[in-house]
């Protein structure tokens, strides 16, 4: 089993981000010592520094991942006749290094952010233990950049969680409708090269995405897509003004793309079905490109869809099955990223290309699921 699969659960649970957040917040305690010395020449509490470090690095979230130890070591000049240890003949030695396989893998993925914060902790410890060690302005600027990066990622994560909690507290989709939906959610099919912009901007309608120039690879079938470029009275606008979601991702469109060799680059984004209860959302009883397709805005009309065909593995067994199987949910203009719950890839190679984009910071779970593909 490769590391990306072995440690995927820790990635999805934001173990690394939680450690970064914890270390970032506790730095203020250490910096307080440095400030007290540099501003007030107060060396009286310097022995308490070891207590602070022991408390920080003995927490349950840190212990499995960091090798931590503080020793007292004689200075080289006093090794022959050491005598009783004191501030004059000895100094503290801090061991602080990452140790678990999972944290080492994650640290490499995150360009060694935790390692660099750990290095900052070690430098501050040495600085306080021997105040005459120089912490120059260039070092301070470097560490401040690291800390700002951490703060930005943590804030992004907290904001995403807040938005997801708001969704969870809203009126929920009735179980009679929810139980009909295959795979427990709605799906958007995207090319790998478009994922970065989706994580930044959300899932945009055709018109908005193209006007912003963020469609790096267009996987739509041109002839079909042209038939979507029309005003639909029920929607109150052009179909291209709505971001499309499939009720069942294993449909003729995905089959066509997989059969034409695009499977490894196809990414399936799962969206919470609760989006059906938001404003400016509609759904259809078939492919929106086909003029015989009906559109609805009232959730009570969900029962009008042909669920036998939508849920069946094969659409060729049913009259008009190809159209019906592509039944859609249409969201006006944009689907905010916090409605996305999962990202699925066909294989590990594709998964590893998305991991460094950190969808986990947005509360999105990453997984491989070959069963969703053809």
Query: pLDDT digits over 120-160, tens only?
Result: 888 878 776 665 555 555 666 676 787 788 778 878 877 88
Which strand (E) or helix (H) includes residue 295?
A: strand 295-296
Q: What is the model's pLDDT at position 38? A: 64
Q: Say whether both 214 and 311 belong to one domain.
A: yes
Which strand (E) or helix (H) includes residue 70?
A: strand 66-74
Q: What is the model's pLDDT at position 294? A: 98
- Tokens read off for 303: 């029962």
d(CA 80, CA 357): 55
d(CA 354, CA 193): 10
Q: Say whether both 203 and 83 belong to one domain.
A: no
Q: Say whether both 251 and 156 belong to one domain.
A: no
Domain that holds residue 72: 3-162
Q: What is the model's pLDDT at position 301? A: 96
The answer to whether residue 124 is domain-embedded is yes
d(CA 46, CA 68): 19
Chain centroid to Cα 167, Å, comes to: 17
Q: What is the model's pLDDT at position 136? A: 58
Which strand (E) or helix (H) includes residue 245?
A: strand 242-246
d(CA 337, CA 203): 7
Which positions ≥6 away from 58 have C-beta within 8 Å? 68
Q: Write down the pTM of the prediction.
A: 0.88
Q: What is the model's pLDDT at position 198? A: 98
Q: What is the model's pLDDT at position 215? A: 95
User: Is 258 strand, coil or helix?
Assistant: helix
Scan for tokens 């094969």, then name that residue. 314
Number of domains in the chain: 2
Q: Say whether both 357 and 251 belong to one domain.
A: yes
DSSP secondary-structure letter at 2?
A: -
d(CA 296, CA 288): 12
Whether 73 and 91 have beta carbons less than 8 Å apart is answered as yes
Q: What is the model's pLDDT at position 161? A: 80
The answer to whether residue 353 is domain-embedded is yes
Q: Say whether both 97 and 191 belong to one domain.
A: no
Task: Output the CA torsion 233→214→279→224 (10° steps).
Answer: 30
Q: Say whether both 122 and 45 belong to one domain.
A: yes
DSSP secondary-structure letter at 79?
A: S
The model's pLDDT over 311-347, given as tens digits with 9 standing for 90+, comes to 999 999 999 999 999 999 999 999 999 999 999 999 9
Domain boundary among 162, 184, 215: 162
Q: What is the model's pLDDT at position 225? A: 87
User: Is 135 strand, coil or helix?
Assistant: coil
Report phi then psi at 330, rounded to 5: -120, 125
Domain boundary among 144, 162, 180: 162
Q: Say whether both 176 and 156 belong to one domain.
A: no
d(CA 75, CA 121): 22
Ranges of residues in the chain with a pLDDT under 70 are 1, 33-47, 75-80, 83, 85-88, 90, 128-141, 143
Q: What is the model's pLDDT at position 41? A: 63
The answer to whether residue 167 is domain-embedded is no
Q: Say whether both 200 and 349 belong to one domain.
A: yes
- Beta bridge partners, 346, equal none
Q: Say whether both 251 and 319 belong to one domain.
A: yes
d(CA 10, CA 29): 28
Q: What is the model's pLDDT at position 49? A: 80
Neighbours of 332 (CB within 10 A): 17
Task: Output the CA torsion 20→25→27→32 (10° steps).
Answer: 180
User: Is 69 strand, coil or helix?
Assistant: strand
Q: Say whether both 157 and 176 belong to one domain.
A: no
Scan for tokens 């990453």, then name that residue. 366
Q: What is the model's pLDDT at position 246? A: 98
Q: Say whether both 189 and 154 belong to one domain.
A: no
Q: Say whether both 35 and 77 belong to one domain.
A: yes
Minimal CA–CA distance to 328: which of 275, 264, 262, 258? 275
Report phi then psi at 281, rounded to 5: -120, 135
User: Is 98 strand, coil or helix?
Assistant: strand
Neighbours of 82 (CB within 10 A): 12
């Amino acid at each position: 089993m490769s590391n990306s699969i072995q440690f995927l659960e820790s990635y999805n649970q934001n173990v690394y981000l939680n450690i970064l957040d914890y270390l970032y917040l506790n730095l203020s305690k250490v910096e307080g010592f440095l400030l007290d010395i540099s501003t007030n020449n107060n060396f009286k509490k310097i022995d308490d520094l070891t207590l602070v470090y022991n408390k920080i690095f003995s927490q349950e979230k840190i212990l499995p991942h960091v090798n931590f130890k503080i020793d007292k070591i004689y200075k080289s000049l006093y090794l022959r006749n050491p005598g009783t240890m004191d501030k004059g003949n000895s100094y503290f030695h801090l061991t602080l290094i990452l140790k678990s396989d999972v944290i080492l893998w994650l640290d490499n993925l995150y360009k060694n952010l935790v390692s660099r914060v750990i290095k900052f902790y070690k430098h501050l410890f040495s600085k306080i233990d021997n105040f005459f060690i120089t912490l120059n302005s260039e070092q301070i600027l470097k560490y401040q950049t690291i800390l700002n990066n951490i703060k930005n990622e943590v804030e992004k994560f907290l904001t995403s969680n807040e938005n997801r909690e708001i969704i969870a507290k809203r009126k929920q989709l009735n179980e009679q409708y929810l139980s009909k939906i295959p795979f427990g959610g709605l799906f958007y099919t995207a090319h790998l090269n478009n994922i970065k912009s989706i994580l930044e901007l959300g899932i945009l309608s055709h018109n908005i995405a193209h006007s912003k120039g963020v469609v790096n690879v267009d996987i739509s079938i041109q002839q079909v897509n042209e038939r979507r470029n029309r005003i639909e009275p029920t929607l109150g606008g052009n179909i291209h003004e709505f971001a499309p979601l499939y009720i069942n991702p294993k449909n003729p469109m995905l089959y066509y793309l997989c059969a034409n060799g695009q499977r490894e680059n196809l990414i399936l984004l799962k969206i919470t079905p609760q989006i059906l209860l938001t404003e400016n959302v509609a759904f259809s009883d078939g492919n929106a490109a086909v003029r015989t397709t009906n559109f609805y805005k009232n959730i009570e009309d969900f029962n009008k869809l042909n669920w036998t065909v939508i849920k069946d593995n094969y659409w060729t067994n049913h009259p008009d099955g190809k159209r019906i199987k592509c039944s859609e949910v249409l969201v006006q203009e944009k689907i905010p990223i916090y409605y996305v719950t999962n990202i699925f890839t066909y294989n590990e190679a594709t998964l590893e290309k998305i991991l460094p984009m950190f969808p986990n910071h947005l509360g999105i779970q990453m997984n491989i699921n070959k069963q969703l593909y053809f």
